[in-house]
C-alpha cells in the first residue's frame, strides 16, 4: 500500500515561485501546505521589485516636474516628503501581501506562518517543534543579500532595510555595480542624495551590452552620480556624532550617512537541514537541481533564486508553474531559459534580450550591428541632454535578430514586445517590413538601416 503523508506537497518559502507552485499544485488536486517565516509575497513583493519600482516612479517626478516647466506648466518649487512616499509604498505592499494570502486560501493551500526546516527526505519540522510529512518537499526560500566580510560591515544596510528608512540620506555610498546599485543610485540621486557607487571591478552591470552600460555610466556621471572603480572595501567606521567613514583600498576615506550593500544575493539555504537530508549544494550553497527542478534527493525539489540559475522573479514563477504541472498536473513541462529579457530600472532604464554584441562575436561566424543613437522628442523639448541608444545584434548568416539592447525612457516597456520577435527568431528584414508608429521612441526598432 502506498505510504500516506500529511501533505502531498510541502513548500518552504512563500515568495513568487513558491506561491505559484503551491497554488497550481493545489489546483491540480494536491494537498498542499506552504510555510513562510516572514511575509507572504517574498522578496519581489515585500522588499524588492514592487516597492523598488514604486520608488522609481516617485523619484522620477523630480525630473518630470522640472521638465514640465518647458511644457508650459508653472510648477512652484515643490517639496518632497519621504515619509509620504515610503508609507504609501509600504501600504501598497501590504495590500499585495493580502492578495497573495487570498490566492492561497482560495486554492485551499494551508499557510503556516513559521520557519520550516527539512528533517528527513519526506519530513519537515516547524519552528514550534511540530513535525509534518509530505510526499514532495519544494524549497523556494529565495536568496539573501550578501554582506562582505569587512570590519564594520554591520554599519551598512541591505535592500532588506532600504524601504523603511526614516530619512533620505544626504550622502549615500552604494557598494556594487549591479542591478540594485544602479537602481538605488537613481532613486537616491533624484531624491537629492549625494550618491557614490563603489565597485570592486572596473565595470557596471557586466552582463549587459557594453555600449549600453557605458551610456548609463556617462548619463549617471553627467547627472552627478559619482563612481569609484577598483575600490575594495577595507573597513567601515561609525562616528560617535553619527555618520560613517568608509575606508577603501588605494583611495581617500569617504564619509557617508548611509552605506547600502548591493553586492549580490546568495541562495538562502543555511540552516535548512538540506545537506543532512542528503541534498547536494553547489557554489554559494545553491541547491543543485536537474531540468525538472529535482535535487539529488528524489522527493526534494527547488525553484527560484535558491537554485542560483537566473535570479529573476518571472523565471522563478515559471519554474514553480512547470514544477506543479510536471509533478501534480500530469503535464511534463520544462522552462526554456533561452532569450530571457531583463531590465535595470536605472535613470534612464536599460533593457536587453538575447546576445550582447560581445557574445555574438564570440559565438557566431558573422555579426551585423545596427544602432540608433537619438534624443527622445520629449527630452529635446525639455532641454534634457540625454540620448537613448538602441542596438540590434543580427546573425550575418541568416539575418536573425539575436539580441536587442537599449537604454532610454521606457526601455523595459518597449523591449517586452520586441523580445517576442527575438524569441520567435524573426529576421532583420521582418523588422524592416514592419511599419513604424510615428512619432514614438519604439519606432527606432524598425527604422535602423
Ligand atoms: P548583481 O549581481 O546585479 O551585482 C553585484 C555587484 O556586486 C557586481 O557589481 C559585482 O561585481 C559586485 N560584487 C560581487 N561580489 C562582491 C564582493 N564580494 N565585494 C564587492 N563587490 C562585489 O547583484 P545585486 O545585489 O545588485 O542584485 C542581486 C540580484 O537580484 C541580481 O543579480 C538580479 O538577478 C536580481 N535583481 C534584479 C532586478 C531587476 O530585474 N531589475 C533588480 C534588483 C535585483 P563584479 O561585476 O565584479 O562581479
Q: What is the DSSP string of 146-168?
A: ---S-TTGGGSB-TTTGGG-SS-
Q: How far is the CA of 280 from the centre of ligand 1 (A)?
A: 24
Neighbour tally for 175: CB within 10 Å: 28
- Do the beta carbons of residue 422 and residue 401 sit within 8 Å? yes
Q: Does ligand 1 lie within 6 Å of residue 142's CB atom?
A: no
Task: Tell me what the mean pLDDT of segment 207-221 comes to.
Answer: 98
| pLDDT category of residue 352 using cuts at 50, 70 and 90 | very high
Mean pLDDT across the stretch 390-408? 98
So which residues are the catalytic ones? 438
User: What pTM, to 2 d.p., does this model score?
Assistant: 0.97
List the residue whose alpha carbon is closest to atom 2 of ligand 1: 264
How distant, in Å, are the alpha carbons of 67, 282, 326 from that of 299?
Answer: 57, 18, 14
How does pLDDT run across 145-188, given as a tens digit for each residue?
Answer: 999 999 999 999 999 999 999 999 999 999 999 999 999 999 99
Q: How far is CA 422 from the centre of its chain?
A: 21
pLDDT tens readout for residues 85-129: 999 999 999 999 999 999 999 999 999 999 999 999 999 999 999
262 CA distance to ligand 1 middle (Å) = 6
What stretches of 107-159 adopt beta strand conformation (E)?
110-112, 116-120, 123-126, 131-139, 143-145
Nearest Cα residue to 21 out of 293, 307, 291: 293
Ordered domains of the chain (ranges, CATH): 7-145+266-327 (3.50.50.60), 153-263 (3.50.50.60), 348-446 (3.30.390.30)
Residue 390's φ and ψ, nearest 5 degrees, are: -115, 145
Residue 20 CA, ligand 1 centroid: distance in Å: 25
How far from chain centre, in Å, is Cα 80?
Answer: 27
pLDDT of amino acid 91: 98
Ligand 1 center to residue 181 CA distance, Å?
8
264 lines ligand 1 (CB under 6 A): yes
Provide the 8-state DSSP code for 254: E
- For residue 310, the ligand 1 atom closest to its alpha carbon is 34
Phi and psi, residue 376, nearest 5°:
-60, 140
pLDDT at residue number 385: 92
Binding-site members for FAD are 53
- Judge if the beta carbon of residue 344 lies within 6 A of ligand 1: yes
Q: How many CB atoms neighbour CB 43 within 10 A?
A: 26
**Does residue 265 have its Cβ closer than 6 Å to ligand 1?**
yes
* Residue 2: per-residue pLDDT: 62
Measure 200 CA to ligand 1 centroid, in angstroms: 11
Tell me the C-alpha distance between 447 and 430, whole Å: 11
Ligand 1 near 70 CB (within 6 A): no
Q: Which atom of ligand 1 is nearest to the CA of 344?
A: 41
Q: Decide: 345 in ligand 1 pocket, CB within 6 A.
A: yes
Mutate to test the pocket of ligand 1, among 264, 266, 268, 416 (most ligand atoms within 8 A of CB): 264
Query: So what's the pLDDT on residue 356?
Result: 98
> Residue 260: CB within 6 Å of ligand 1?
no
- Residue 144 confidence (pLDDT): 97
Q: Each residue of 245-295: pLDDT tens digit?
A: 999 998 999 999 999 999 999 999 999 999 999 999 999 999 999 999 999
201 Cβ below 6 A of ligand 1 = yes
* Mean pLDDT, all residues of the chain: 97
Residue 367 has pLDDT above 80, yes or no: yes
Q: Which of 161, 227, 263 to mutate to test the pocket of ligand 1 (most atoms within 8 A of CB)?
A: 263
Protein residue closest via CA to atom 22 of ligand 1: 263
Q: In the predicted model, is pLDDT for residue 1 greater than 70?
A: no
Mean pLDDT of 6-20: 98
Amino acid at each position: 500500500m502506498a505510504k500516506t503523508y500529511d501533505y502531498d506537497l510541502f513548500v518552504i518559502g512563500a515568495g513568487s515561485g513558491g506561491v505559484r507552485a503551491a497554488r497550481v499544485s493545489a489546483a491540480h488536486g494536491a494537498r498542499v501546505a506552504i510555510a513562510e517565516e516572514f511575509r507572504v509575497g517574498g522578496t519581489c513583493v515585500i522588499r524588492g521589485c514592487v516597492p523598488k519600482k514604486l520608488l522609481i516612479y516617485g523619484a522620477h517626478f523630480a525630473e518630470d516636474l522640472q521638465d514640465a516647466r518647458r511644457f508650459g506648466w508653472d510648477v512652484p518649487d515643490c517639496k518632497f516628503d519621504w515619509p509620504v512616499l515610503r508609507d504609501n509604498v509600504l501600504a501598497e505592499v501590504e495590500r499585495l501581501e493580502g492578495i497573495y494570502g487570498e490566492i492561497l486560501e482560495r486554492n485551499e493551500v494551508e499557510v503556516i506562518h513559521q520557519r520550516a526546516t527539512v528533517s528527513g527526505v519526506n519530513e519537515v519540522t516547524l519552528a514550534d517543534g511540530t513535525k509534518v510529512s509530505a510526499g514532495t518537499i519544494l524549497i523556494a526560500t529565495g536568496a539573501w543579500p550578501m554582506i562582505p566580510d569587512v570590519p564594520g560591515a554591520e554599519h551598512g544596510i541591505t535592500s532588506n532595510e532600504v524601504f523603511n528608512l526614516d530619512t533620505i540620506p544626504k550622502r549615500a555610498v552604494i557598494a556594487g555595480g549591479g542591478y540594485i546599485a544602479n537602481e538605488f543610485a537613481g532613486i537616491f540621486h533624484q531624491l537629492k542624495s549625494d550618491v557614490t557607487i563603489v565597485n570592486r571591478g572596473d565595470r557596471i552591470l557586466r552582463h549587459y551590452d557594453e555600449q549600453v552600460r557605458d551610456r548609463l555610466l556617462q548619463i549617471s556621471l553627467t547627472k552627478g552620480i559619482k563612481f569609484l572603480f577598483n575600490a575594495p572595501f577595507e573597513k567601515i567606521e561609525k562616528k560617535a556624532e553619527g555618520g560613517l567613514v568608509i575606508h577603501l583600498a588605494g583611495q581617500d576615506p569617504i564619509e557617508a550617512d548611509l552605506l547600502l550593500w548591493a553586492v549580490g544575493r546568495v541562495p538562502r539555504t543555511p540552516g535548512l537541514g538540506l545537506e543532512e537530508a542528503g541534498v547536494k549544494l553547489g557554489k554559494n550553497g545553491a541547491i543543485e537541481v536537474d531540468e525538472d527542478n529535482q535535487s539529488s534527493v528524489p522527493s526534494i525539489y527547488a525553484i527560484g533564486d535558491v537554485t542560483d540559475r537566473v535570479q529573476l522573479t518571472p523565471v522563478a514563477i515559471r519554474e514553480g508553474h512547470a514544477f506543479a504541472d510536471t509533478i501534480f498536473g500530469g503535464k511534463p513541462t520544462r522552462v526554456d531559459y533561452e532569450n530571457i529579457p531583463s531590465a535595470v530600472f536605472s535613470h534612464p532604464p536599460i533593457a536587453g534580450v538575447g546576445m550582447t554584441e560581445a557574445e555574438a562575436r564570440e559565438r557566431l561566424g558573422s555579426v551585423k550591428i545596427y544602432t540608433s543613437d537619438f534624443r527622445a522628442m520629449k527630452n529635446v523639448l525639455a532641454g534634457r541632454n540625454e540620448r537613448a541608444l538602441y542596438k540590434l545584434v543580427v546573425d550575418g548568416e541568416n539575418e536573425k535578430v539575436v539580441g536587442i539592447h537599449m537604454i532610454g525612457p521606457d526601455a523595459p516597456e518597449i523591449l517586452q514586445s520586441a523580445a517576442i520577435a527575438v524569441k520567435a527568431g524573426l529576421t532583420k528584414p521582418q523588422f524592416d517590413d514592419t511599419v513604424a508608429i510615428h512619432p514614438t521612441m519604439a519606432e527606432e526598432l524598425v527604422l535602423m538601416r
